[in-house]
Amino acid sequence: MTQAFPPLPRATDSEGNARLTGVEIEFSGLDADRVAEIACQTLGGRAKQVDSHAWTVAETEIGTLDIYLDTALRHAENSALKRIGLDIGKEVIPVEIVTKPLDLDGLAALDRLRAALRDAGAAGTRAGLAYGFGVHLNPGIASADASGITAPLLAYALIESWMREAHPIDFSRRILPFTDPYPTRLVEALCHAGIVDPGAMAEIYLTHAPSRNYGLDMLPILAWMDEDLVRRMLGAGGSVSARPAFHFRLPDCRIDEADWSLHHEWLRWRLVEQLAEDRDLLGRMMAEWQEMHGSVVLRRAPWAERCGALMEDAGLIEERSVT
């Protein structure tokens, strides 16, 4: 039985609408056509094949799902070479499910699909050395001001080391570039500036971390704010889908493990926003982070330990873990 998803501290946006979250899930062990079939059985809807390894499932109880092999080859012109490449690569290239933005009930329904896929043989990150799979959550911002954008970023930056210690990333994802921790100088600059307006935050972020290769990728929000600025910073090779939503991409996908769920990953992000709303604790963490860090940090474990203790004392976590 799947669990209800608790609301974020700020459950609605500035216009009073429920905040929605898009989800991307990567895994192996099942072909895209089988995933589409299971989606129909679990959530209803109609499956349609749109390419050799790509399907859409329309009119499910959570809207349309896109299901495909997650590779650049799928964007290539349809050809025998493309089909051969996809067939060969499907053993290590993940199948990806991409949803429309979902409300809390939609997230719970998607978690039912996750359970059905596990029962059918879906394989997660730990099933193979080459399986660098992940889950991405894309929660829409609560507001376009410092409270809605800068504070959650600062909260994440402060607890990222703790998240990595409390929930170790699988080796296969550690060697991939998008698991990089935020640079120390970015966190230092954010702490020094505090909860500044998003425009000032954008200058700090793009100065110290002009990349998508982080657990919390802020570039979609920054591009939504000023797409020309982000394109200039990234150069010709950069590509960002502008949207007013965080791109939280740290978690592994452990879809084949009985004690793992999307609910578990949701609680990680909810913790970020809980800290963002606790300004006293956030201020204390900023001050203590600055006391413990110099310009070069060789070990992150001491701050992870201290960070966990502060959150435990504040009642945000129990036994320094998210369960």
pLDDT at 233: 84
pLDDT at 3: 81
Q: Measured between alpha carbons, how far is 25 from 94 in angstroms, rounded to an integer?
A: 9
The model scores a pTM over 0.85: yes
Range in 51-55, 220-224, 266-270 the model is least confident about: 51-55
* H or E segment to which residue 184 belongs: helix 184-193
pLDDT at 52: 80
- Would the pLDDT of 86 be above 50? no
Residue 306: inside a domain = no
Are 285 and 180 contacting, i.e. CB atoms less than 8 angstroms apart?
no
Range in 84-98, 221-235, 240-254 the model is least confident about: 84-98
Per-range mean pLDDT, top range of 29-38, 70-79, 87-96 = 29-38
Q: Measured between alpha carbons, how far is 116 from 2 in angstroms, rounded to an integer?
A: 11
Range in 101-110, 123-132, 164-173, 193-202 the model is least confident about: 123-132
- Would the pLDDT of 295 be above 70? no
pLDDT at 13: 96
User: Cα 197–297–209 angle (5° rounding)?
Assistant: 40
DSSP state of 170: P
The answer for residues whose C-beta is within 8 angstroms of residue 113's C-beta and 6 or more apart is: 38, 39, 42, 43, 97
DSSP bridge partners of 139: 21
Domain count, the chain: 1
pLDDT at 253: 79
DSSP state of 214: B
Q: Measured between alpha carbons, how far is 153 from 195 in angstroms, rounded to an integer?
A: 9
User: Cα 203–219–72 angle (5° rounding)?
Assistant: 145
Give the structural domain span for 89: 18-123
Residue 93: inside a domain = yes
Residue 44: inside a domain = yes
- Residue 12 three-state SS: strand
Which of these, 108, 86, 85, lies nearest to 33 by C-alpha position? 86
Residue 103: inside a domain = yes
Token representation of residue 28: 């192996």
**Strand ranges for 249-296 from DSSP E:** none
* 252-280 per-residue burial string, b: 16 or more CB within 10 A, e: under 16: bbbbbeeebbbbbbbbbbbbbbbbbbbee
Residue 158: inside a domain = no
Q: How far apart are the first and last CA of the chain?
A: 16
* H or E segment to which residue 314 belongs: none
Residue 111: inside a domain = yes
**Helices 301-313, 279-292: crossing angle, 10 deg rounding:** 160
Q: Measured between alpha carbons, how far is 125 from 78 in angstroms, rounded to an integer?
A: 29
Which of these, 106, 129, 110, lies nearest to 38 by C-alpha position? 110
Maximum pairwise Cα distance, the chain: 60
Residue 322: inside a domain = no
Q: Which residue has the tokens 């007013």?
A: 244
Residue 285: inside a domain = no
